[in-house]
Chains A and B, each alone.
Chain A
Amino acid sequence: GENVEQHPSTLSVQEGDSAVIKCTYSDSASNYFPWYKQELGKGPQLIIDIRSNVGEKKDQRIAVTLNKTAKHFSLHITETQPEDSAVYFCAASRRNSGYALNFGKGTSLLVTP
């Protein structure tokens, strides 16, 4: 089955700096890669996603890149703010599995003022 590796497991940055989280996947049939943000006591919230026919996608301060050949994708957050502090999960999925999500282990991001 699909195996998603996520690094780092913890990340601490100063407010205003950039944060980068990296994921690799093993199943070349995976074609949808979302990122979720989970705050304490809440469910995961979809923040950005990318499909396999796209190399990069940006939404304000958040961007995601995908390298299909290398089977890795990354989340980039620029101009970080304290409210960005949360656990971030990457996931990989494919159509013929109903887009059931295979998650990485998560990255705990702390943004200090």
Chain B
Amino acid sequence: DSGVTQTPKHLITATGQRVTLRCSPRSGDLSVYWYQQSLDQGLQFLIQYYNGEERAKGNILERFSAQQFPDLHSELNLSSLELGDSALYFCASSKTGTSTEAFFGQGTRLTVV
């Protein structure tokens, strides 16, 4: 167990809908990363937050957004969902905004139908 908690584990929703994925980092970690894993794109970095502030941005669509709250948990919001958004979404955490070791949660499997 990495200590990173993601909920829900599975999510099935219809096209056009909006969902929120939640991540609680390891105790003491200030930085949260979101990654998307799909068969065609592999593991792709979406966005990083450090102590409530956006730190780095990757291949995140405009329909997606994230935030990190004062208690350091993070939420990834996916809107206007398309079939192609079906994927595993992972959260990882690290101690600071420039720590190297990152620990991954178990992921949320999103299925858009």
Chain A positions near chain B (C-beta within 8 angstroms): 32, 34, 36, 41-46, 49, 51, 89, 93, 95, 97-106
Contacts and interface: CB of A to CB of B under 8 A. Distances in A.
B45 A44 contact: no
A104 B37 CA distance: 12
A43 B105 contact: yes
Contacts of B104: 36, 43-45
Nearest to B99: A99
Interface string B63-92: 000000000000000000000000000101
Interface residues of B, number: 28
A36 B56 CA distance: 21
Interface of B: 2, 4, 31, 33, 35, 42-45, 48, 50, 55-56, 58, 90, 92, 94, 97-107
Contacts, number: 63
A31 to B, nearest CB: 9
B67 to A, nearest CB: 16
A35 B90 CA distance: 16
A48 to B, nearest CB: 11
